[in-house]
Structure 1
Amino acid sequence: MSTPATPNSAATNAAKARAAQAPPPPPEPLAFPVADSHTHLDMQESSVADALTAAAAVGVTTVIQVGCDLERSRWAAETAAAWKSVWAAVALHPNEAPRLSAEGGQEALDEALAGIEKLAGLGQVLAVGETGLDYFRTGPEGIAAQQRSFRAHIELAKRLDKALVIHDREAHADVLRILDEEGAPERTVFHCYSGDAEMARLCADKGYFMSFAGNITFKNAQPLRDALAAAPPELLLVETDAPFLTPAPHRGRPNAPYLIPLTLRAMAATKGMDEERLARHVAANTARAFGY
């Protein structure tokens, strides 16, 4: 039988629980400013103004706000229009395509894709994404809709000369195959890169950008660090995917663009590179990938 908590110990436990969910403290500013190549400001607790101010204070001076469905893509485009340091990417997330198809058939998916096409033509929208394939959350019954949506997004990115931002979860072979079949856009970004070192070398051969997130810092992520080690500095980007994938030592707490320095420093250590040298590569790569 456990001993009941005293009032003092209960208060201490409550304080610890709150601290675990409180925003982590800001890291030391970067030696050279970079961009957060993939974030979801609409899913974060702080206001856009506060998030951008906190990010700029540590050297994260540009963010790519990514939409996952038609409504969030509209929000991304509107936010990018309102803030000079924000650019937008718009798309139907791989898990959104089978949901739309299941609820409204091919017509519903086509209607949503038409809405994404309109948004993608806006000047502040620099990318079509995140699109791709996710076989982790979607079962076999949703694969056809995912692949159809992915092909439509690839065509749109090429037609509008926008970057393509790929979500690839447990679907490496099919993602690479479809890119080959459709012909990849000139600027293709693997968001939250999740492949192995062999795939990283293949992506490098094709000129695909690879964006790494906070999970590069996780203890069980050695295969991901091996992939990073194999990737050339000229194709590396850094991202938060906030509010998800908060880097160590704050895993489990809210993520935000101001925590990019923790991930970039871990990347520099893995690459055996000076922080500023890697940051300069990442800054130039992100501008080249998204065309700003």
Structure 2
Amino acid sequence: MSGANARAKDTGRKGDPPPPPEPLDIEIIDSHCHLDLMDAAPADAVAAARAVGIRRMVTVGVDLATSRWQAEVAAELADVYAAVAIHPNEAARGVDEATFTELTALARRPEVRAVGETGLDYFRTPPEQHAAQQASFRRHIAIAKETGRPLMIHDREAHDDTLRILAEEGAPATVVFHAFSGDAELAKACAAAGYVMSFAGNVTFKNAEQLREAAAVAPRELLLVETDAPFLTPMPFRGRPNGPYLVPLTLRAIAEVRGEAVDELAATVAATAERVFGPW
């Protein structure tokens, strides 16, 4: 792809954090990261993000222990929200009732703003474990509806079943497809259902033309931007540690693909984030 992001040269070492990008003029939110997996202390990650216009972030649990951790950090730091869930790859081994009970209690905490990441992952899970993943996904849908929280979905190579189960169970009022991984047709299907699509740094990868096509056709009011930090670091820093402060690279890449002004897209993304996760 063309543009400043693609033309920039990465002269750092692979293990080094990338340099901060040019700050955004409109503050937005990193809709999905994992502060517990980053080398930086949470407060330092927040400070680095705010310096480039990333006002808040949602840190996401993948099991009961990490969900507790995210909730505690979000309670301590005003600029951090939490999401709690059992990741589908963890759920493939089965989830006991006590875990769902505690997740429900966590989801009711004021600093917890989403149930996720939940969903289906057929890339890493063999077919004989798909039923356990699907059962867990259905329970998370119920928890999201019971607690009034948005549902944050992990969908990898399971688009049809993900959409089918949402339809069968009745989707919560707000659904977010985290690190959107489909093509333009899936984006259109999500848009028709009113589902929000959150794009991560992989939309900038050379081999991700279908993601860029999806980002181009998704309605602007259904778009969010995320890092999935420390994973999916945007170009030109792919392979180096990601952090919420790198959201501007992905936002600018999406704006370029869509042929939109960065500030206009940022303003809409900020409004969508507030609608999804609550007021800043």
Category of TM-score, reference length = shorter chain = over 0.9
Identity %: 59
> Does residue 148 of structure 1 match 2:148?
no
CA distance in 1, matches of 2:173, 2:67: 22
Conservation of the 8 A alpha-carbon contact between 2:12 and 2:18 = no
Cα deviation per residue 1:51-92 (whole Å; 9 max; x = unaligned)? 010000000010001000000000010011001100110000
> Does residue 52 of structure 1 match 2:46?
yes
Corresponding letter in the other structure for 2:244: P
C-alpha displacement at 1:117, in angstroms?
Answer: 1.1
Cα deviation per residue 1:190-229 (whole Å; 9 max; x = unaligned)? 0000111011111111110000000000000001100111
> Does residue 136 of structure 1 match 2:123?
yes
Instruction: Give the aligned partner of residue 5 of structure 1.
Output: none
Corresponding letter in the other structure for 1:23: P
CA distance in 1, matches of 2:198, 2:62: 18
**Following superposition of structure 1 onto structure 2, how do residues 193-204 of structure 1 map, counting pairs within 5 Å?**
193-204=180-191
> Structure 1-normalised TM-score?
0.91
Instruction: Give the aligned partner of residue 30 of structure 2.
Output: 36
Q: Which of 166, 181, 201 pairs up with 1:179? A: 166
CA distance in 2, matches of 1:46, 1:125: 22
Instruction: Give the aligned partner of residue 9 of structure 1.
Output: none
CA distance in 2, matches of 1:60, 1:18: 23
Instruction: Give the aligned partner of residue 206 of structure 1.
Output: 193
Corresponding letter in the other structure for 2:268: H
C-alpha displacement at 1:18, in angstroms?
Answer: 7.8
Instruction: Give the aligned partner of residue 224 of structure 1.
Output: 211
Cα deviation per residue 1:24-55 (whole Å; 9 max; x = unaligned)? 00000012110000000000001111101000
Task: Return the structure number with greater helix share.
Answer: 1
Instruction: Give the aligned partner of residue 98 of structure 1.
Output: 92
Structure with greater Cα Rg: 1
Instruction: Give the aligned partner of residue 6 of structure 1.
Output: none
Corresponding letter in the other structure for 1:71: A
Conservation of the 8 A alpha-carbon contact between 1:187 and 1:290 = no
CA distance in 2, matches of 1:195, 1:214: 14
Conservation of the 8 A alpha-carbon contact between 1:89 and 1:129 = yes
Q: Which of 235, 254, 259 pairs up with 2:222? A: 235
C-alpha displacement at 1:113, in angstroms?
Answer: 1.4
Q: Secondary structure at the match of 1:88?
A: strand
Instruction: Give the aligned partner of residue 290 of structure 1.
Output: 277
Corresponding letter in the other structure for 1:241: D
> Does residue 113 of structure 1 match 2:100?
yes
Q: Which of 100, 113, 122 pairs up with 1:126? A: 113
Corresponding letter in the other structure for 1:215: N
CA distance in 2, matches of 1:83, 1:25: 24
C-alpha displacement at 1:291, in angstroms?
Answer: 2.4
Q: Secondary structure at the match of 1:20?
A: coil
Query: Could you list the runs of 5+ residues in structure 1 that have no partner in the other structure?
Result: 1-15, 102-107
